[in-house]
């Protein structure tokens, strides 16, 4: 292994450490607790080293969002392929999405609530975000209904899931009706 390869490997390792530490700190104490100073202290590197990887908190949030998008895409695909039948796949997708949002609130915020400097629904949208949308679309396209554009249907279904996730986390929806909400969403929107 050349010196250059070793340095690149070490740099990639430091970057993963920064992102993992930011994510851990955000999940424990919220994104307000994530500062470059605190991250530098936790990873035991100087702030200039941290800034050599990310220009600031915004880029760190973006990196966490991309990581989360990849994880969510994998989870949604795994849940959908583990079930038989279109309705069951959509229900599994919905449960998995809401479970992901509930288990990873700081990551979910990085993906959809906070400014991470990422472009959505544009040509320059990063691949992990496009893939997360594709993971939803793969299952939802088969239940969109005749004459309904699959991307538009996916956007509406995703917006519904996002609303449920956000309102549930904020305590705006009674938790005892979570399952009924999902059944209603799946049964009324998904044409099987």
pLDDT at 192: 64
C-alpha–C-alpha distance, residues 27 and 15, integer Å = 18
Q: What is the pTM of this model?
A: 0.93
Q: Per residue in 55-91, pLDDT tens?
A: 999 999 999 999 999 999 999 999 999 999 999 999 9
The structure tokens listed for 4 are: 């250059």
Average pLDDT, the chain: 95
pLDDT along the chain (192 residues), means of 10: 88 95 97 95 92 95 98 98 95 97 97 95 95 97 93 96 96 95 90 68
Q: Are 19 and 67 in contact (CB under 8 A)?
A: yes
């Amino acid at each position: 292994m050349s010196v250059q390869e070793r340095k690149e490997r070490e740099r990639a390792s430091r970057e993963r450490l920064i992102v993992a530490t930011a994510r851990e700190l955000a999940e424990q104490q919220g994104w307000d607790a994530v500062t470059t100073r605190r991250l530098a202290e936790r990873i035991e590197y100087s702030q200039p080293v941290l800034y050599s990887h990310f220009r600031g908190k915004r880029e760190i949030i973006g990196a966490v969002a991309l990581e989360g998008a990849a994880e969510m895409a994998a989870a949604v695909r795994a849940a959908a392929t583990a079930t038989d039948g279109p309705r069951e796949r959509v229900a599994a997708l919905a449960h998995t999405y809401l479970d992901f949002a509930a288990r990873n609130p700081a990551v979910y915020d990085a993906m959809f609530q906070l400014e991470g400097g990422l472009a959505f629904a544009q040509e320059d949208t990063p691949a992990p975000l496009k893939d997360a949308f594709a993971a939803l679309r793969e299952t939802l396209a088969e239940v969109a209904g005749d004459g309904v554009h699959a991307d538009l249907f996916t956007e509406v279904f995703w917006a519904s899931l996002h609303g449920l996730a956000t309102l549930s986390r904020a305590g705006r929806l009674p938790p005892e009706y979570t399952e009924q909400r999902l059944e209603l969403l799946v049964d009324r929107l998904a044409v099987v």
